[in-house]
Amino acid sequence: MRKMQIFALCVWAVLVLLFPVQAAGPPVNDAPASPAVPSVSGPLQVRGPKLCDAAGNAVQLRGVSTHGLAWFPEYVNEACFRLLRENWNVNAVRLALYTEESGGYCSGGDRNALKSLIDKGVSCAVAQDLYVIIDWHILSDGNPNRRLEDAKAFFQEMSAKYAGCPNVLYEICNEPNGGVSWDEIKRYAEAVTGVIRANARDAVVLVGTPNWSQFVDQAAANPITAYDNLMYTLHFYAATHTDQLRKTMVSAIEKGLPVFVSEYGICDASGNGAVNTAQADRWVRTMDRYGVSYIAWNLSNKAETSAILLSGCQKTSGFTEDDLSASGKWLYEMLTAGERTPAPVPPGKTVPRENAASPEMGISCTAVLQNQWQSDGEFFYQYTLSIRNRGKTNCDSWRVQAAFNGPAVLQNGWNGNYSAAGTVLRITAKDYNRSIPPGGTVENIGWIVKGGQDLKLLNCAGF
Ligand code: IDC
């Protein structure tokens, strides 16, 4: 009997050695991804199925989506974003711009007012060191190609404005539905990503998937290859979507698809009905295990279950526990449970003028406002820039991009070649300061721009 057992054990050991258990796809690291903070993590990138910081470490975004900007603009304010970061531990917000629903961007909404809200949302997010997703929120329009030209024009404008701002991610079609095929979405995504990438060369773009952003398996079977730094969205509502959709998500990730949960709720898919916290907790465990980022729907006091505030709450910031709906309480508990280090960096020192090393060039730059003045009713701003080579090899040349919160007109610039377009100023090396040894710094670069009364530098980074 004992001999039989030993024999069986040996056969098993030989089989295991000969045929090790294979993972279903590229290895997925079980270690939790760190929370990303723009001033530390820099511009994000996508590697394999993972969202990574500028240095290539896996990171996770966890945040809250606004409701439709047209309907609930009041929550786009800095105090609110600060509370979300400091007390709720979020590191990302999503700005939902409905396209077709009443008051939407393509259905009679005030386009300039809506774009100002996006600008305000991005500025507040930058000031609070949060990542921010600009969400082209298609819904009843079903097929994103229906508004292809509007989408291209919109993302052309946004990406030109925010090209140098590492906080911004672009979500190009919230939820394709109504039977639109993955091939059609893919065609749309390629066209719109092309527009974005012409301005923001490496920005992360989030692409919706068929059937209200659920069929990530179809994207996994036929992903977009024309561009990198793309992620594919999956949306769930825990009282409707359970184990089956979770399996779809996991199997897409294990095939190597970068999945981003840019919207979810813990109630049913109508955004209303009862919550299912048991399923919601399972979703969170799975998403954490795979380092998937997730953004909760929605930041409003609308009388619906998915709103995180009670409908009686009139505050637009400074919410306390008594102001929260069941969804809000669950979310707060979940986001603040456990230790997640590093905690987001407090603002003050944080205006992300200095970035993590740009992955290609290994440089970081610091731009400092030296002086500002007013003359003949116009506003002038003088900056100095220093560039440091954090890499291990010599930097042969450098290119830096500074992004402002409004148009900046170049008046003067020294120790660099300058070109200004809209809100972006680009500076390239002179022959005499192009080479920076490892650990070395180039200083005394500077410029003066003319701009609006509240012109601010959003960011400065290698491009
Ligand atoms: C819902 C809002 C609701 C609004 C409706 C508009 O919660 O107040 O009246 O949109 O049609 C989604 C969508 C998201 C939905 C949400 C809940 O992306 O816009 O918001 N949901 O239905 N997909 C699945 C659920």
Q: Which tens digit of pLDDT belongs to each residue from 398-429?
A: 988 888 888 899 998 889 999 988 888 999 99
pLDDT band at 88 (very low <50, low <70, confident <90, very high): very high
pLDDT band at 361 (very low <50, low <70, confident <90, very high): low
Is the C-beta atom of 263 inside 6 A of ligand 1? yes
Residue 275 vs residues 159, 272, 279, 296: alpha-carbon distances, Å = 37, 8, 9, 13
Q: Are strands 441-451 and 424-428 parallel, antiparallel or unpaired?
A: unpaired
Is the C-beta atom of 212 inside 6 A of ligand 1? yes
Report the C-alpha gap between 399 and 45 in whole angstroms.
19
Q: Kindly report the number of other CB atoms within 10 A of residue 292's CB atom.
A: 26
**Which helix (DSSP H) or strand (DSSP E) does residue 445 occupy?**
strand 441-451
pLDDT in tens, 232-289: 999 999 999 999 999 999 999 999 999 999 999 999 999 999 999 999 999 999 999 9
Report the C-alpha gap between 249 and 255 in whole angstroms.
10
- The phi, psi pair for 14, rounded to 5°, reads -65, -45
Number of H helices, E strands in the chain: 11, 20
pLDDT exceeds 50 at position 220: yes
Is the C-beta atom of 53 inside 6 A of ligand 1? no
pLDDT exceeds 80 at position 356: no
Residue with CA nearest ligand 1 atom 25: 269
pTM of the model: 0.74
pLDDT in tens, 103-156: 999 999 999 999 999 999 999 999 899 999 999 999 999 999 999 999 999 999
Q: In this predicted structure, what is the pLDDT of residue 178?
A: 98
Q: Which of 35, 38, 346 is nearest to 165 (CA)?
A: 38
pLDDT exceeds 80 at position 102: yes
Is the C-beta atom of 141 inside 6 A of ligand 1? no
341 by Cβ neighbours in 10 Å (0-12 / 13-18 / 19+) ranks as exposed
pLDDT band at 201 (very low <50, low <70, confident <90, very high): very high
pLDDT band at 350 (very low <50, low <70, confident <90, very high): very low
User: Is 254 among the residues known to form the active site?
Assistant: no
Closest atom of ligand 1 to CA, residue 140: 11
Is the C-beta atom of 268 inside 6 A of ligand 1? no
Dihedral of CA 270/254/12/9: which sign?
A: negative
CA contacts within 13 A on the Cβ side of 262:
35
% of the chain at pLDDT higher than 90: 71
Report the C-alpha gap between 308 and 301 in whole angstroms.
7
Ranking 229-238, 357-366, 429-438 by mean pLDDT, the lowest is 357-366
Q: Tell me the average pLDDT of the chain.
A: 88
Q: Which of 67, 240, 299, 306 to mutate to test the pocket of ligand 1 (most atoms within 8 A of CB)?
A: 306
Residue with CA nearest ligand 1 atom 16: 271
Q: Are strands 62-68 and 205-207 parallel, antiparallel or unpaired?
A: unpaired
Q: Which two tokens stand for residue 158?
A: 């946004």
Q: In this predicted structure, what is the pLDDT of residue 9?
A: 47
Q: Which of 65, 139, 171, 241 to mutate to test the pocket of ligand 1 (most atoms within 8 A of CB)?
A: 139
Dihedral of CA 61/66/70/76: which sign?
A: negative
Q: In this predicted structure, what is the pLDDT of residue 3?
A: 57
pLDDT exceeds 90 at position 2: no
Q: In this predicted structure, what is the pLDDT of residue 370?
A: 82
Q: Are strands 62-68 and 294-299 parallel, antiparallel or unpaired?
A: parallel
pLDDT exceeds 60 at position 339: no
Is the C-beta atom of 46 inside 6 A of ligand 1? no
How confident is the model over 50-77, as a mean pLDDT?
Answer: 96
How confident is the model over 352-376, as a mean pLDDT?
Answer: 65
146 CA from centroid of ligand 1 (Å): 19
Is the C-beta atom of 237 inside 6 A of ligand 1? yes
% of the chain at pLDDT higher than 70: 88
Q: Which of 263, 300, 302, 325 to mutate to test the pocket of ligand 1 (most atoms within 8 A of CB)?
A: 263
451 CA from centroid of ligand 1 (Å): 39
Is the C-beta atom of 139 inside 6 A of ligand 1? yes
Residues 6+ apart with CB under 8 A from 85: 91, 128, 129, 130, 344
Residue with CA nearest ligand 1 atom 13: 139
User: Is 263 among the residues known to form the active site?
Assistant: yes
